[in-house]
Structure 1
Amino acid sequence: MNFNLVFALYSCLLGFLVGALASLFLALSNLLIHLVWTTVPEQLDTSLYPFWICLFGGLLIGLFQTYIGDYPRTMHQTLEEFKTTGRVTYEGAVVKNTVAALLVLTFGASLGPEAALISILGGLMTWVGDRMTWTLQKKEQLLELGIGAMLSTIFYAPLIGVSEAFEDGVTRANFKHKSVKIVLYGLTTACGIFAFTTINRLFPHEVLFSISTPKVNWTWEVLYFLIPAILIGTGFGYLFVMFGHLTDTVARKYPHPLGLAVTAGAVLGLFGTLSSYFLFSGEHKILEFSRIAFDQSVFFLISIAVGKAFLTHICFSFGWRGGKIFPAVFSSTAMAFVLASFFPYTPGLLIAVSVAASCTVILKQPFVTATLLLFLFPLQFFPFILLVAVLIKPLSVRLEGRA
C-alpha cells in the first residue's frame, strides 16, 4: 500500500462518510421501530401484537424479495462480488438494499444492521471510484478501510479495523505494509467515530452495546471454573454455527421467498410474544438484560440464549437478511450468565471468557473478537479474553471443517 497524503485524506473523508451514513441509517431505523413498536401498540389492546406485526413484516419482506430481488445483500455477497468483479453494484442496488434492510430491522428481526450498511457502503464506494482515476488496488484498499471503520463505529470498538490487519499474521516482509494499513485504519476509524457520535447527539438514542458485569472482586476459586466457562462458550458457539447450517438446508429445500419470509415472521412473532429479548439484534437490550440476568431462572437464561441463536438463523436463512454479530454476542452472554449464576467467583471473568470462546468459534477471527469485546467488559479481563480467543481459533476451524 503506497502511503501518500492524498490517499490518507481520502481515507479521512471516507471515515466521515461512514460515520455519518451509519448514524443517519440507525436514526431512521430507530424512528421506524419506535413508530411500529411503541406508537402503534399504544392505540391497540392485544397481547398478540408481536405475532401479527412480525407476520405482516414477513409478508412485506417476502413480497419485496419476490418482485424486487434478493435484498439486502449479505456481507459475504458484497465482498465476494468485489473480489470477483472489482466492484459492487450500485445502480438501483443502494436504494433496494436500504429499503429491504429497513423492513428487516423495523419488524423485529434478530439481526443487526452491519451487513446492510456494508453493502450500501460498497455500492457508494464503487460509485465514487468510478468517478476517479484509481487503480483496482486503491479501490479495494478504500473498501477495506470503509468496512473496518463501519464495524468499529457501529460496534463501538475502535480497534476492530486495526485487528483485521493482524488476522493473517505480520511477517518481516510485510511489516511495512501492515504498519501503513494500521495507520490508515486508525485515521479512517477516528474520523468515522467522530462523525457518528457528533450526528448521533442530534437524535434521541439509547446506550448501545454495553454489558453490566458485577464489580471486579478477584477470587482464586475462579481458576477452577475458567476451563468449564471456555468449554461452555465453545459448545454454544458450535451450536450457533450448527443452527445456521440447519436453517440454510431447510431454506434450500423450500426455495419460495414469500413462504419462507412469512414463516420466519410467524416464528419470530411467536417468540416475541413470550419475551421482547427475542426481538431485534440485542444492542439496545443487552445492558438491560445483563442487569437482571442474575435474578432470572436458569431455564429462562438458556431459553433466551438458544432461542435467540435459533431465531437469528431462521431470520437470516429465510430472507430476513442482516448481521449476526450483535445477536451472537447477546445469546452468548445469556448462556454465560448460566454458569456465572451457579459459580459466583469473579463472575464477570467467567462471563467474559465464555463469550470470547463462543464468539471466536462464530467469527473465526480471534483478534477481531478480542477487540470487539475490549470495551464490552472491564479492561482487567482483556488479557484473558485475548488469550482465550487465540487458543480457541484452531479448534473453531476444526469444528467448522467437520460440520
Structure 2
Amino acid sequence: MASDTAPPRASAPSARALSASLLPALVVGVVASLLFVGVSEAAELLQGVLWKNLPDALGVGRYSVLWMLVMLTATGVAVGLVVWKVPGHAGPDPATLGLDAPVLPPTVLPGLLLAVALMLAGGPSLGPENPIIAVNVGLAFWLGSRFLPRVPGALWPVLAESATIGALFGTPVAAALVISEALAGRRTAGPLWSNLFAPLAAAAAGALTTSLVAHPTFDLGLPGLARPGWADLLSALVVASLAALLGMLGVAAFPYAHALFRRLPHPMLALPAGGLVLGLLAALGGHLTLFKGLSEIGTLARDPDGWTFGQFLTMAVVKLAALVVAASCGFRGGRIFPSVFIGVALGMAAHALVPGVDLSVGVAAGVLGMLLAVTRQGWVSLFTAAVLVDSPAILALLCFASLPAWLLVTGRPQMQLHDDGSPVT
C-alpha cells in the first residue's frame, strides 16, 4: 500500500540524453580552464612588475615593510575603483559567496575578472576560486542559453562549477567529490554516476586543459609515509583537531570584521583600509603570508627546517588574520588556497615542536582541519590534504582525523555570510 501513496519517481537519464550533454560539457570544461589559466597568467605577470621590476627600479626592497604597506594599500585603491566605477561593481559582497556561485548578469563579469586579477597580483590573502567560478557560471549560462536553448538552463552552472574546480585542482576528482556532496542533499533521479556524467566530463576537460597548458601540481615533495603507526594516528587526530579549533577562531571573528568594514560606507574607504591592515599583517608575518599561498607553501616545503616553531605558528596566525580581513573588507577572492597555507604552516609547526610528528602527517592533518573549519566541505578537505603529500597510506589516518575535527565544526557557523551579515551555518 505504501507504493500507492508514494510520489512517482522521475526516470533516470537515458544514454541518449547523457550523450547529448557530452559536447556542451567538454566545451565548457575547455573554456573554463582557459579563462582560469589566462587570468592566473596575467596576474602573475602583473605581480612580477609590481613586486620585482617596480621596487628594483625605485631602489626599494621588494618585500620591505614600506613596499608591502604601499602595495597592499594601492591594491585596495585599485580594486576599490573597480568596485565603485566599473559596471556591475564586481559582483555581490564576496563574503556572501561560496563555491556554489549565483548566475551573475554578463555586465558584471568583466569587472569581477579585473578585480580578481588585481587582487591576485597585489598580494591579499585570497585565492581565485570563488570569483573564477562565478565568472565561468555566468558566462556558461549566458552563452549556453543563447546558442543552445534546448539544453536545460540548470545544467550550465553545474558544468561551469565542475569545470572550474577541475581546472583549479588539476584533477576532475575534486569536482566529482564536490558535486556528489551537493547531490547528497537533493532528491535526484537515477544512479549517482548518471548525475555525475556531464559534470565529470566538464571537470575532466577543465583539468586536462589546465594540465596541458599550465602543468600545475599540488604535490609538495614531502617524504612519503610508508607504513602508518600508532604515533602517526595520534598526531593526525591532535593536529587536525587543533587546526579546526584555530580555523573556528577565524570563522568566529569573520562576521565582526565584516561588520566593522561595513561601517565604512564606500569601497574607496573599506578596501584601502583593508589593504593597509593587510600590509601591517604582512610586516608582522613576513612576505610568505602574502598572496594566495600556493607558491609560498612550496617555499616552506623545500626547507621545512628553515623556520622555528614560533615562526611557523606566527605565519599561520597572521595568514588566518589576513584571510579574515581580505575576505571581509571587499577583496574578490576565495578562501581555500590561503587556508591550505595556514594548514601547512600549522603542520610544520607541530613537527618543529614535536619532532616525533611525521612531517607529512602533520601537514596533511593541518590542512584537513583548517579546510573543514573554513569551507565545511568534507570531501574537498580530505582530497586536498591527501594530494598535498602524495601518499596513499595517509588516507586512512586522514579519515580518522576528520572525525573529531568534524565534530568540532559541524553545526557551527562557517566563513560565509548571508546578505544581512549573519553567518551561514
TM tier, smaller: 0.7 to 0.9
Distance 1:193 1:165, change over 3 A: closer
The 2-side partners of 1:230 and 1:77 are apart by 26
The 2-side partners of 1:338 and 1:161 are apart by 30
TM-score, normalized by length of structure 2?
A: 0.83
CA contact (8 A) 1:366 1:386 kept: no
RMSD: 2.8
Match of 1:10 in 2: 24
CA contact (8 A) 1:367 1:386 kept: no
**Which stretches in structure 1 are left out of the alignment for 5+ residues?**
202-206
Match 2:311 to one of 274, 277, 300: 300
CA contact (8 A) 1:170 1:178 kept: no
Match 2:163 to one of 149, 159, 165: 149
Match 1:163 to one of 174, 177, 180: 177
Distance 1:228 1:304, change over 3 A: same
The 1-side partners of 2:276 and 2:367 are apart by 29
Matches within 5 A, 1:1-400: 2=13, 3-46=17-60, 47=64, 48-68=66-86, 70-73=89-92, 74=94, 76-77=96-97, 82=102, 87-90=103-106, 92-132=107-147, 134=149, 138-168=152-182, 174=188, 176-200=190-214, 208-216=217-225, 218-274=228-284, 275-345=286-356, 346-377=358-389, 378-389=391-402, 392-400=405-413
Match of 2:8 in 1: none
Displacement of 1:313: 1.7
Displacement of 1:353: 2.1
For 1:166, what is the secondary structure of its paired residue?
Answer: helix
CA contact (8 A) 1:111 1:281 kept: yes
The percentage of aligned residue pairs carrying the same residue is 21
TM-score, normalized by length of structure 1?
A: 0.88
Distance 1:292 1:244, change over 3 A: farther
Displacement of 1:342: 2.3
CA contact (8 A) 1:56 1:265 kept: yes
CA contact (8 A) 1:54 1:269 kept: yes
Displacement of 1:79: 7.6
**Which stretches in structure 2 are left out of the alignment for 5+ residues?**
1-11, 415-422
Q: Deviations over 1:362-403 (max 9, x none)?
A: 111211211223321222212222343355334312332899
Q: Deviations over 1:281-317 (max 9, x none)?
A: 1011111112333331222111110111111121121
Which consecutive segments of 4 or more residues in structure 1 shift more than 4 A?
Answer: 75-81, 168-175
The 2-side partners of 1:164 and 1:134 are apart by 27
**Matched residue count:** 392
* 1:93 counterpart letter in structure 2: V
Q: Deviations over 1:187-227 (max 9, x none)?
A: 212211222222326xxxxx654434334364543344343
Match of 1:204 in 2: none
